[in-house]
Structure 1
Amino acid sequence: MASFFSTIGRLLGLAQDEPSRPGWSIPSYEDVCQARASLKALNLPTELVLQILDYAHYWPQYEYVSNFRQPKVAAAQGGRPSHATLCADMDALNNTTVEEVLRYGETCKIKSVEFNIASLDQAWTSENTHGTFNTSSWLEVSILRKMDHTTTAATGPHLSHMRFSDPCDYHQTVSSQGWSLIKRPQSAKQGPQDGEGDFAWYLQGNRVAVGLDEYRIVWSVEGQEGNEGAGSGEGFLNELTEGDRILVWARAKVSCLFYDGIL
């Protein structure tokens, strides 16, 4: 049994470690344009200007916060070896932050995704894995894409009421509705993801039989940040394109709960 107590995805830039930082630490698109113009006024080459802004992580940002009023329960029952509960469904490149950038003819590319989560495993184990990340309860992330490019959809399929064994099970269901989960590189497999079709990136494992822990995982163009139980996010940012949705799954080989959480 495991509980997952908060999932937050922040797109288009590295999110702040402390939510109490003043507003000026999160630049708007206008702020970025002004900084770019100031650097250009110094007669710096455009390539160097962009490198400076990237080095400073001076990017617009979009924040998504999970908001569940009741726990979401995932339980491996009825002969199913595992269970997947959909915990978050967010639009990657169709939001107010991106819309502002696109109005000025810019091209958007996600530089970084940050997840802040708090999670815990069951309070006991019969194996010699206490305190390790050799776990059977974890979080993972999928990319959902509308395959019919002649139409657009404001939201993804409404299937939160259905039960799924794993993301591959979900993929087989939504494919008849014109949606598809994007496959990760096989080399990005981690933990207990064998034999599940490569439809999700491993995000964070629970420390076995330990209480609530908070985790920060960053997947960026510069690499990955996180602890030894975090996923690498290999290939994730390169796959994201306009219209994609990011799904966060709570996974367990045994019962798990997902609770509401805010930063």
Structure 2
Amino acid sequence: MSVVHEESARAQVPLTRDRRNWPAVLALVLVVGLTVLVSLQAFQIHTLNRKVATAGDRASALDQRLVELERRAGNTIDTAAVAKKVRPSVFTVVAGRSQGTAFAFGKPGPAGGTYLMTNYHVVADVVDKGGSEVKLERESELYPATIVHKDKERDLAVLLATQVFPKLEILGVDVTPGSPVVVVGAPKGLMDSVTSGVVSAIREFPGESRKIIQFDAPINPGNSGGPVVDKDARVIGVATAKVTNAEGIGFAVAIAEACTAFSLC
């Protein structure tokens, strides 16, 4: 009996020891599990942060792209829309043997008439002969006009018609090179001709006090006196000359010169 009892006791010793180790094993398992869980969560947070950072970078890049697109859109020009708005205010001028272009602008004329701007050299033939009367033509209609102001140095002249014509708006600030422009006039007598380009430079030539706008929109004889307008159909200059032995080099008297000379803007 004692032998059996001793064997039973011996057999129960390991079992008792295993039961006593279970809490430690369980704690170890829990620690390992928590460690894995924390590591997994840390990895997920890191991945999420990277995604957020990437999304932020993409959003920033999209914002920059949007700003650039808005800048480009603001610097584009709808030539057809501008021409449609400008043409009713532009006339062919017949002055003796000369022909050019004029456009309505400025303050109301006396007795409800309209002032029109052109180049002095367009009306020079009439002035040299002591006259002051010219003809304005638009859509086969002729209107009489009188030369009321002239500035030979600036190559500008103002006409006055008794009719009321729609007037063009004047741009009151300087333009910058690269700005889009539209020119409307009657080159070689071809009324309502439209060309477009950009401002190439702002120049002040030696010996001249006037400010000149250089642009690359094509012009020809007959365009003289026509309006050079910006993307909003506002006059920035008066087309006056081109370089004959080169392409895309035209010049306009800055409209500010006309405003200074005649105080009609």
Q: TM-score range by the shorter chain?
A: under 0.3
Higher relative contact order (CA closer than 8 Å, sequence separation 6+): 1
Structure-1-length-normalised TM-score: 0.25
Structure-2-length-normalised TM-score: 0.25
